[in-house]
A = this chain, B = another copy of it.
């Protein structure tokens, strides 16, 4: 019986949107925004270029769609830092969760890195508002822990920077990491995890 469903997005539509976003993530994360062409995205998604533009109005729209959700996902582990938990355990859990994300979502990490590296032209003021607000909130928690003598006294914001820098390095500079370690096939993450655990355990001890 036709005419019953008016505008629920069909399964094939949802599948195509997902394929486009996945292909675009691949391309944007390795070639940057300008370096990516609609042809590349269309081919990898298995669609024609005009058909791709039926799903998204423009190249920028695809990019924005990807970025918009990303910052939130990216900061979830920091958001989960529990003021009531054990300080060292909470921070180490954050570090390890962040490193896991580098391994499991390297494309997302590189997309974000590309964006920030180029001056955050699309993410823009969100860094100074949403991101800053979250860091400020967690800074209070860190300072309290330091005042109680439960972790070493350090600059709280630079402590967070150090977590970001060390964990994201393995996704963003993956090519360099593997080239220097040699043994092409080997997974660098187990050793990285050990190293980072040692580093922060020592750093946080009062």
Contacts and interface: CB of A to CB of B under 8 A. Distances in A.
A119 B113 CA distance: 13
Which residue among A128, A176, A195 has the maximum number of chain B CB atoms within 10 Å of its CB?
Answer: A176
Contact of A32 (B34, B127, B159, B166): B34
A155 B194 contact: yes
Contact of A114 (B117, B191, B195): B117
Contact of A131 (B128, B131, B159, B179): B179
Main secondary structure of the interface of A (DSSP, over half): helix
A205 B170 CA distance: 25
6 contacts: A32-B34, A114-B114, A117-B172, A128-B180, A157-B181, A158-B191
A120 interface: yes
A179 B30 CA distance: 25
